[in-house]
Amino acid sequence: MGQGQEVHARRIISNLMAEGGWLLLQNCHLGLNYMDELLDTITTSEPIHPTFRCWITTEVHPKFPINLLQVNQPDACSSNLLALVLVRTLYMQSSVL
């Protein structure tokens, strides 16, 4: 994310929310403003295709919207599992530094 990638992310997310599919947003700490928009999009859009999944990677950042990790759509991956994957990823990144 960052450097104008939000434009592409909006288009792809809109398509996948309607048609289904998975996407991975990487380096979300570089697009914090868009993360707030993404949270609003995911929580207010109806209907969302049952196979839509959005995976997120980020570095630890105090302004990252933690509520984004708690979004749980019906039949989606557990928000606890997603949070665990993220925490594990962040732990591995910080231990490398």
pLDDT at residue number 74: 47
Specify burial of residue 21 (Cβ count, 10 A radius: 0-12, 13-18, 19+). middle
Domains recognised in the chain with CATH numbers: 5-96 (3.40.50.300)
Residue 78: pLDDT band (50, 70, 90) is very low
Q: What is the pLDDT of residues 13-70, one digit of tens each?
A: 999 889 988 888 888 888 888 888 888 888 888 888 888 888 888 888 888 887 877 7
| Higher-pLDDT residue of 78, 50 | 50
Confidence (pLDDT) at 80: 44
Helix or strand or coil: residue 49? coil
87 token code pair? 């925490």
What type of residue sits at position 80? N
Structure tokens at 26: 């990487």
pTM of the model: 0.67
Does residue 90 or residue 4 have the better pLDDT?
4
Question: What is the C-alpha to C-alpha distance for residues 75 and 85, in angstroms, rounded to an integer?
Answer: 18
List the Cα angle 87/43/64 in 5-degree steps.
35
Tokens of 3: 């450097």
